[in-house]
Amino acid sequence: MLQNDALKFANAPFDRAAHLRKDEEWLKKAIKADDTLFLPFYAGKILCINNGEPADAIIPGIKISKTPRKIAWLYNDEIPNFSHCQFIFLGEEKGKARFAVSIPTSINLETSLLADLVEGDLRAISGGISAEDAHFASTSAAILNWHRKHGFCANCGEATQISEAGWKRECPACGTEHFPRVDPVAIMLAVKGDKCLMGRGAQWGERMYSCLAGFVEPGETMEQAAARELFEEAGVVATNNAQYLFCQPWPFPSSLMIGMIVEVENEELTIDENELETARWFSKDEARQILDGNHPDVDAPADIAVAYHVLKAWVEME
């Protein structure tokens, strides 16, 4: 499956044209071309059109606005201090090159050409942007965040240099090549019979419950990671029946969320309070209420998250 229309950040794959990342002459011309579009970031935030809706970071558990929001695709003559910006080649669309651009924070946005734009937290605005923009934005945010955190060689400690249109860093001292990494995360709904298990983190709103989750460790399959996390966080033991559903990129900061349903042997819970504030079992009827927004004391995960769609998939199973 090349795309999943239900998943926000996996809904509209674009032509990454990876073969052009090493073509320095083509890239130089593309950056200067009049029809090239740039997706602007400033201090780690995406710039978007001001529509009066909040664009700041949200607290987990607070519903994400679905009011339509446009991100600010710009032409090169609209970008201040253009020659000092950092560029990431994203790909092509209908023959037009697309780049992410990180604008130096030395620029004062309020007195620049971009004064009418607002800095948006990608998670906060994601409910209102188009699927196409979401896929471009998630890719851009993940790569730019990687560059911010990997300026030095992990092998020798020297400063690295950006190459291949932003998709690689090279160490001039020892020659080591560094590439962006994606962290796989198992998002699993533990089920037993017609019940499912969800939990709540201490930092979430009190009505917010979601699937349990955890990073896949080196040497693990995603099924093994799911089983380990379920036992560590809630004390439930997985059977050998684990069903993979779907995945989507999650640029907070750079994960691949892997949605799964995992059958477990026991309902008795032993909560790791360092990971969860609480966890509880829900019947399938309760899960339907949660998804419909009719449960008296529980809200569903945001529908931009894989957890929402894992729960929905289980509810719809015969």
According to the model, what pLDDT value does residue 38 have?
A: 98
According to the model, what pLDDT value does residue 5 have?
A: 82
Which tokens is 115 given?
Answer: 């004064």
The per-residue pLDDT for range 248-285, each reduced to its tens digit, is: 999 999 999 999 999 999 999 999 999 999 999 999 99
Sign of CA dihedral 19, 25, 26, 32: positive
According to the model, what pLDDT value does residue 1 have?
A: 57
According to the model, what pLDDT value does residue 54 have?
A: 79
What is the chain's mean pLDDT, rounded? 94
According to the model, what pLDDT value does residue 65 have?
A: 81
3-state SS class at 305: coil
According to the model, what pLDDT value does residue 59 have?
A: 63
Contacts with 19 (C-beta within 8 Å, 6 or more apart), sequence order? none
pLDDT below 70 — which residues of the chain?
1-2, 59-62
- Residue 58 corresponds to which amino acid? I
Among residues 77, 62, 74, which one has the least CA distance to residue 32?
Answer: 77
Q: How many CA atoms lie within 13 A of 45 on its CB side?
A: 16
Residues of the chain with CATH 3.90.79.10: 183-316
Cα 117–Cα 107–Cα 250 angle in degrees, nearest 5: 60
Class of domain 183-316: alpha beta
pTM (global) more than 0.75: yes
According to the model, what pLDDT value does residue 57 have?
A: 75
Q: Does residue 255 contact residue 225 with C-beta atoms inside 8 Å?
A: no
Among residues 190, 212, 231, which one has the least CA distance to residue 306?
Answer: 212
Contacts with 285 (C-beta within 8 Å, 6 or more apart), sequence order? none
Q: CA-to-CA distance for 167 and 165, rounded, in angstroms?
A: 6
According to the model, what pLDDT value does residue 13 have?
A: 87
